[in-house]
Chains A and B, each alone.
Chain A
Amino acid sequence: NAGVTQTPKFRVLKTGQSMTLLCAQDMNHEYMYWYRQDPGMGLRLIHYSVGEGTTAKGEVPDGYNVSRLKKQNFLLGLESAAPSQTSVYFCASSYSPVAKNIQYFGAGTRLSVL
């Protein structure tokens, strides 16, 4: 009963490096989301997807790209990492629009950009 799985759990990058965060869900959910969580702030939406092959921008999309090639996977990419992207990243999924349904979150990825 995995739910939402994020890999990796921790990562340290140097400024300018690139990386991809992987989110996988086994609940057959249509909707998937990427958030970042910074100290003293609420979670902020980076990008989201309402189904396979679709993506859309959230509140703070700059510096990130996403892809949803398969229904169960949602990838978050950083093309050129910056120290301002040091954060904890959470992936979430929901069966239908989150306005009406529960979101299920992964355990998070802690990213440090030096």
Chain B
Amino acid sequence: KNQVEQSPQSLIILEGKNCTLQCNYTVSPFSNLRWYKQDTGRGPVSLTIMTFSENTKSNGRYTATLDADTKQSSLHITASQLSDSASYICVVSAGDAGGTSYGKLTFGQGTILTVHP
């Protein structure tokens, strides 16, 4: 069964500090891994997408890493801001068999990040 596990479930940090969120997955065959940010009361917004051959991808203060061998990914947030308070969701896409398949996504349960002033 495809699974995506995220840790920690929640995290509180002070503004300006860095933090790292973890994602472990058992999805096969692997296609890509993405991180979403979901603000309270809003829909998820894509931060990064990484394929098998990419091991690092940045989007501003967000840097995602991927280790396809150990099936782990991390999202590092640098110099946190109050606006970074949100749920961060790791999503893994299984390989698409082609045709009209939509490509199955498996969502993690999310890490809730709270940034305090």
Enumerate chain A interface residues (CB-CB to B < 8 A): 4, 31, 33, 40-45, 48, 50, 54, 56, 90, 92, 97-100, 102-108
Contacts and interface: CB of A to CB of B under 8 A. Distances in A.
Interface in B59-112: 89, 91, 93-96, 100-110
B12 interface: no
Interface residues of B, number: 28
22 contacts: A31-B102, A40-B109, A41-B109, A42-B4, A42-B110, A43-B44, A50-B102, A90-B43, A92-B43, A97-B103, A98-B102, A99-B94, A99-B96, A99-B104, A99-B105, A100-B32, A100-B103, A102-B34, A103-B46, A105-B45, A108-B41, A108-B43
Contacts, number: 66
A56 to B, nearest CB: 7
Q: A-side binding surface: helix, strand, loop or mixed? A: loop
